[in-house]
Chains A and B, each alone.
Chain A
Amino acid sequence: MDRLDVERAMHGDRDAFATIVAETADRLYRMARLILRDGDRAEDAVQEALVRAWRELPRLRDPARCEAWLRRMVVNACYDEGRRVRRRAEVSLVGVSEIHAGDGIGSFIESERIAHAFRRLPLEQRAVLVLHHRMGLSHPEIAESLGIPLGTVKSRLRRAHDTMRAGLDADDRVGEEARKWTA
């Protein structure tokens, strides 16, 4: 991201802001989509965060850290959106169209198991997993992006791994029981 664009946008240049959005919106949307597990809601969260970013840009302290600041905006918008989403009755339904023709049913089931365990994580733990495992950020970079202490990043990541593993193990036990009954 060009520092000059950031500085211009901080002084109200809409074209410079458009350049920033064009460069970052795709990455931010993908991050939000993984955290929220829903394309429409991710769109809402990124839209809300970017509108807020435009408004708050003059208060950005360090233009060099603009992308981390935008990430924080989007993650916070994901938290808000996640709370709002829960007002609907969320039922886990997998449409037939989501099963890709080339996928084996085994890999599909495996993917659904992981998705199920991931969905059960609190949004805060989902966010650190996505920033670490998908966006490849280091612990200090995650701390900066989320505005939390380094120790909190590490403990949150550890808890997320523990919860994912416990969820997948529990699914395994349920699967074993089901296989016994259907054998």
Chain B
Amino acid sequence: MSPRDDLRAVDGLERVVEDWMVAEDVAGAPDRLYEAVFARTSRIGQARRRPWPALGRSAWAVAAVVVAGTVAIVALLLATGVPRPPAVAGPGPAATATPAATVLPGGIPPSATPAVELVREPVCAEPSALVAAGVDAPGGLWLTCTDGARWVTLPDATAVSPAIGGVGLVASDGADTWAMTADGIVRLGPPGVRIGATVPVPGATALAVGSGAVWVATRDGTLVRVDPSTGRTTARVAVGSRPVAVLAAAGSVWVAARGDGMVVRVDPRTAAVIERIPAGVGPSALAAGAGAVWAASPTDGVVTRIDTGTAAIRRVSAPLPDDKGGISGLAASQEAVYIAVRETLFRLDPATGLAIASVRLSGYPAAMAVDGRDPWIAFERDLRTSVGALVRLRVP
């Protein structure tokens, strides 16, 4: 019986899939994986241990007796009419103790009410990147899906271009736009067409456009400077392990070296590393806004604010669930900074990095960008409709 015949029965399909997986499952973990894990874990500590799992039964029994005794004494005092101390004007509900897992860096718990949706448009099932084209005057968004990138007009997403196939993540400085392909980079032009041939850059992982060049990070830990007019590589600099995000902002090029836990600042003129800034266990997203460069490290929930004027660095921690993915999105503009932690969106104070508002989202954000003040979020497919959504929110 051929595999094709097998498919007509559930058991047959299962056997075909099992046989295929056995044939595919040939390689074990490479040694460098172990080395990288030990190198990274040796640099970080463990999260604070919760006290209660460590308590034995006897300790719980003692605690129960103490609590019961306290309750009895308080009840007795109230019943006997002991005068109460005068009420002190307090800070109100904000002073109420909140479970640690839901407290933001700024001490604001997630709101139960959703944000106001200004726009909701159906898009591809699996969006993966969203980029505002132009920092100061964005006229549109580049939305990347599995079938290519689309140009979406602002402010209401009423026009969406056909997908430009074969291109992935898009980067733009407002005037010049480039995108990653399977084997390099290619220039794009609104409303969404390829211009010229692909410039080969093997192993590209991320790109940025700025300071008169296209900057491409590669899997071997290099940042490549490409001349946009000729397509030639004009400089290469080693930036560190696993560079996964690049940003051109404030006269520098910034690279998130996820494997090293560093944000690396590069001089665009000399293509030399200026400084390496610790930014959590594995920074993997960068954004520029409000006089700072922002880095998010999903694994440990660290958000790092690097002041581009004073070089001051401030780190804040976002609350993470115990065993789920951490920060799922970061976006910034001159007016607002947002991070997403699973299905909750936090608005950060641009001056301090502390959370000042939060809203519960309607799903898992696949990608984020900010248009001036408002965040745009691309959601993955709805299970009932198999359609993704592009949403513009107004966060209170």
The yes or no verdict on A and B being binding partners is yes
Please report whether the interface of chain A is mostly helix, strand, loop or mixed according to DSSP: helix
Q: A22-B34, A129-B17, A134-B25 are in contact. Are A172 and B44 (CB under 8 A)?
A: no
List of B residues within 8 angstroms of A61 by Cβ? 53
Q: Are B298 and A80 in contact (CB under 8 A)?
A: yes
Find chain B residues with CB under 8 A from A168 CB: 4, 7
Q: With a CB–CB cut-off of 8 A, which chain A residues contact B326?
A: 52
**Chain B neighbourhood of A4, CB < 8 A:** none
For residue A77, give the distance in angstroms from its CB to the closest CB of chain B.
Answer: 7
Q: Given A54-B46, A115-B20, A87–B128 Cβ distance below 8 Å?
A: yes
B33, A29: Cβ atoms under 8 Å? yes
Once bound together, how far apart are the Cα atoms of A1 and B282, in whole Å?
28
CB distance from B188 to the nearest CB of A (A): 12
**B7, B33, B145: the one within 8 Å of A46 (CB):** B33
Instruction: Say whether A26 contacts B323, CB under 8 Å.
Output: no
Q: Please, which residue of chain A has its CB at the minimum distance from the CB of B16?
A: A114
User: For residue B36, which residues in chain A have a CB less than 8 angstroms away from its CB?
Assistant: 47
* B20–A58 CB distance below 8 A: no
Q: A15 to B318: give the CA distance in the assembly, Å.
A: 29
Q: Is the CB of B282 within 8 A of A76?
A: no
Task: Give bound CA distance, A29 to B38, whole Å.
Answer: 16
Question: Chain A contacts of B44 at CB under 8 A?
Answer: 51, 54-55
Contact (A86, B168) CB under 8 Å given A48-B299, A80-B298 = yes
Is A87 a contact of B18 with CB atoms below 8 Å? no
Asked whether B204 lies within 8 Å of A88 as measured between CB atoms, the reply is yes
B41 close to A17 (CB less than 8 A):
yes
B148 on the A face (CB < 8 A):
yes
**B219 interface residue, CB < 8 Å from A?**
yes
Give A91 to B165 CA distance when docked, in angstroms: 10
Give Cα A56–Cα B21 distance, bound, in whole angstroms. 31
Residues of A within 8 Å of B146, CB to CB, are 86, 90
Q: Give A162 to B266 CA distance when docked, in angstroms.
A: 50
Q: Is B396 an interface residue (CB 8 A)?
A: no
| Per-residue A-contact encoding for B21-45, CB less than 8 Å = 1, 0 else | 1111101111011101110111011
Number of interface residues of B (CB under 8 A): 72
Q: Which residues from 73 to 101 on chain A have a C-beta closer than 8 Å to any C-beta of chain B?
A: 73, 76-77, 79-80, 83-91, 93
A130: Cβ under 8 A from any B Cβ: yes
Q: Which A residues lie within 8 Å of B182 (CB)? A: 88-91, 93
Residue A30 at the B interface, CB < 8 A?
Answer: yes
Is A84 a contact of B23 with CB atoms below 8 Å?
Answer: no
Is A58's CB under 8 angstroms from B168's CB?
no
**Is A8 part of the contact surface with B, judged by Cβ < 8 Å?**
no
In contact, A50 and B37 (Cβ under 8 angstroms): yes
Contacts of A56 in B (CB 8 A): 46-47, 322-323
Rounded to whole Å, the gap between the CB of A125 and the closest CB of chain B is: 11
Question: Chain B: which residue is nearest A86 at the CB level?
Answer: B128
**A110's closest neighbor in chain B, by CB?**
B3
Within the complex, the shortest CB–CB distance from A131 to chain B, in Å, comes to 11
Is B87 positioned at the interface, with any CB of A under 8 Å from its CB?
Answer: no
| Contact partners of B17 in chain A: CB under 8 A | 114, 118, 129, 133, 164
CB pair A161–B14 under 8 Å, yes or no, is yes
Question: Is the beta-carbon distance between A43 and B284 smaller than 8 angstroms?
Answer: no
Which of A86, A118, A168: most chain B Cβ within 10 A? A86
Known: A56-B322, A165-B7. A25 touches B33 (CB 8 A): yes
Question: Which residues of chain B come closer than 8 Å to A91, judged between CB atoms?
Answer: 166, 182
The reply to whether A84 and B180 contact each other, CB–CB distance below 8 Å, is: no
Chain B residue contacts of A10, Cβ below 8 A: 49
The residue that A59 contacts in the complex, of B21, B50, B144, B166, with Cβ under 8 A, is B50
Contact A133 B14 (CB under 8 A): yes
Query: Is B176 part of the binding interface, using a Cβ–Cβ cutoff of 8 Å?
Result: no
Q: Is B169 an interface residue (CB 8 A)?
A: yes
Q: Which A residues lie within 8 Å of B21 (CB)? A: 34, 130, 133-134
* Beta-carbon contact of B324 and A76 below 8 Å: yes
List residues of chain B with CB within 8 A of the CB of A51: 37, 40-41, 44, 281-282, 299
Q: Mark B160-193, 1 if CB is under 8 A from A, else 0.
A: 0000001111000000000111100000000000
Known: A25-B33, A84-B128, A169-B7. 6 other contacts (CB 8 A): A52-B299, A55-B281, A80-B298, A86-B146, A114-B3, A133-B14
5 of the cross-chain contacts (CB-CB < 8 Å) are A44-B242, A55-B300, A80-B328, A83-B128, A88-B168
Instruction: Mark B residues whose CB is within 8 Å of A.
Output: 3-4, 7, 10, 13-14, 16-18, 20-25, 27-30, 32-34, 36-38, 40-42, 44-50, 53, 126, 128-129, 144-146, 148, 166-169, 179-182, 204-206, 219, 242, 244, 259, 281-282, 284, 298-300, 322-326, 328, 366, 381
Chain A residues with a Cβ under 8 A of chain B:
10-12, 14, 17-18, 21-22, 25-26, 28-30, 33-34, 39-40, 43-44, 46-48, 50-52, 54-59, 61, 69, 72-73, 76-77, 79-80, 83-91, 93, 110-111, 114-115, 118, 122, 129-130, 133-134, 147, 161, 164-165, 168-169, 172
